[in-house]
Amino acid sequence: MTNRSRAEFAPQELAAVLSHYDIGAIKTVEKQLKGSRRSPKVVIDADRGRFLLKRRARGRDHPVKVAFAHAVQLHLLERDFPLPRLIPTANGEDTMVIIDDRLYEMFEFVRGNVYARLPGETHDAGRVLGSFHRLLADYHSDWVPSRLGYHNASIVQTNLHNIPQTVAKDDSVVGHESEMLATVSGLYTSYTTACDRVQEAGFDSWPDQLVHSDWHPGNMLFADERVCAVIDYDSLHVLPAVTDLANGLLQFSIIGGASDPRSWPAELDVERFRLFWAGYNEQFDVPPDRAKVITALMIEALIAEAVAPIAATGSFGRIEGFRFLQMIARKVKWLEQNGPDLMKDLM
């Protein structure tokens, strides 16, 4: 299987997995082409409903970690949080199937729309994140997930250090080597400066709790400008809740563009930023000491997300790494210059 091909279920594999579920006679099975290429998914129409079956990708299929994520989802579901219902196996006791060292899970299929940047959607995405934090503020389990996030992460500095070598042969760099080095150096300085600001505000003394760590539009479905399902729980961490909030504010206010990142605007969508913030604060209060470093955390999150794939492959998806970093640098500069005023209006 090449890196760009999509993993699929073998017919015998699918039959073996479905034999563990009691969903009635199966009418249709349709490939689901969204999400990770390494994790095959099918939508199943059966007598007892419509379901989504997936095989976990390697590296995301540790049974203990999956069991933890399932326990969190069940906890949220009992409290009316919007997420797809896990389908138990026929014995009524398990929420996963393991066959030949591969792990499978089934969910109810939720109909919804992708994020359309509508005001109501943005506000509700913030509100639901606040609800997520409120419902999990006192959640405890025997197994504790990672406490490593994008803040003050040595891997980010390492990735920035490695980028000049991984992008050096790209056509966009040839003749612009000094500019590329200056861009990487500037991002390094911006990241460490933002880290210092957050540390000085007392980050290490802030209470930890379970956070989502991947709150972005692609991980939720909408209907009538409301979140009808949050669909990904693979990145749960234990960190201060404000790290989740900062990333959510970034993801729901960032402005992209066409395939060439040089045309992307530097500024955030301030209205969407404010709507997300307002929705979140309906459910979960943000103490002033944490609110004042929101934009510093956003800078850290923006840089951390951008540099990891570029350090590994020299590109961000199908976008040349150097040009993508130039765009990130412009957005970071905008946040550095406008962040204080942006938060002053909200506090």
Domains and their CATH numbers in the chain: 11-108 (3.30.200.20), 119-344 (3.90.1200.10)
- Report yes or no: 226 and 124 within 8 Å, Cβ to Cβ: yes
- Cα–Cα distance measured from residue 255 to residue 273, given in angstroms and rounded to the nearest whole number: 11
Contacts of 65 (CB under 8 A, 6+ apart): 143, 145
**CA nearest 123: which of 11, 273, 233?**
273
What average pLDDT does the segment 10-24 reach? 96
What average pLDDT does the segment 142-160 reach? 95
Contacts of 285 (CB under 8 A, 6+ apart): none
Contacts of 3 (CB under 8 A, 6+ apart): none
Task: Tell me: pLDDT of 260 over 90.
Answer: no
| Least confident stretch, 48-52, 79-83, 176-180, 224-228 | 176-180
Helix axes of 321-344 and 154-167: crossing angle, nearest 10 degrees: 140
- Cα–Cα distance measured from residue 22 to residue 8, given in angstroms and rounded to the nearest whole number: 22
Q: 10 Å Cβ neighbour count for 37?
A: 14
Contacts of 330 (CB under 8 A, 6+ apart): 264, 266
What average pLDDT does the segment 3-19 reach? 89
Residue 176 confidence (pLDDT): 80
Task: Tell me: pLDDT of 138 over 50.
Answer: yes
Residue 58 confidence (pLDDT): 93
The overall average pLDDT reported for the chain is: 94
Contacts of 191 (CB under 8 A, 6+ apart): 156, 157, 160, 299, 300, 303, 304
Residue 48 confidence (pLDDT): 96
What average pLDDT does the segment 232-254 reach? 97
- Cα–Cα distance measured from residue 343 to residue 347, given in angstroms and rounded to the nearest whole number: 6
The residue that leads in pLDDT, 318 or 70, is: 70
* pLDDT band at residue 277 under the 50/70/90 scheme: very high
Task: Tell me: pLDDT of 165 over 80.
Answer: yes
- Report yes or no: 291 and 202 within 8 Å, Cβ to Cβ: no
Whether the model clears a pTM of 0.75, i.e. scores above it, the answer is yes
| Least confident stretch, 176-185, 242-251, 338-347 | 338-347
- Cα–Cα distance measured from residue 301 to residue 239, given in angstroms and rounded to the nearest whole number: 14
What average pLDDT does the segment 4-15 reach? 90
Q: Is 179 helix (H, G, I), strand (E, B) or coil?
A: helix
Percent of the chain whose pLDDT exceeds 70: 99
* Residue 50 phi, psi (nearest 5): -120, 130
- Cα–Cα distance measured from residue 242 to residue 213, given in angstroms and rounded to the nearest whole number: 10
Residue 2 confidence (pLDDT): 38
- Cα–Cα distance measured from residue 215 to residue 232, given in angstroms and rounded to the nearest whole number: 9
* pLDDT band at residue 249 under the 50/70/90 scheme: very high
Helix (H) and strand (E) counts for the chain? 10, 11
Element (H, E) at 25: none
* pLDDT band at residue 35 under the 50/70/90 scheme: confident
Q: Is 143 helix (H, G, I), strand (E, B) or coil?
A: coil
- Cα–Cα distance measured from residue 285 to residue 267, given in angstroms and rounded to the nearest whole number: 26
Task: Tell me: pLDDT of 4 over 70.
Answer: no
Task: Tell me: pLDDT of 334 over 50.
Answer: yes
Residue 1 confidence (pLDDT): 34
Residue 318 confidence (pLDDT): 86
- Paired with 106 in beta bridges are 53
Helix residue ranges per DSSP H, 87-203: 119-136, 154-167, 177-200
Q: 10 Å Cβ neighbour count for 27?
A: 10
- Paired with 55 in beta bridges are 104
Residue 141 confidence (pLDDT): 92
Residue 68 confidence (pLDDT): 96
Percent of the chain whose pLDDT exceeds 90: 86
Element (H, E) at 24: none
pLDDT in tens, 50-100: 999 999 999 999 999 999 999 999 999 999 999 999 999 999 889 999 999
* pLDDT band at residue 177 under the 50/70/90 scheme: confident
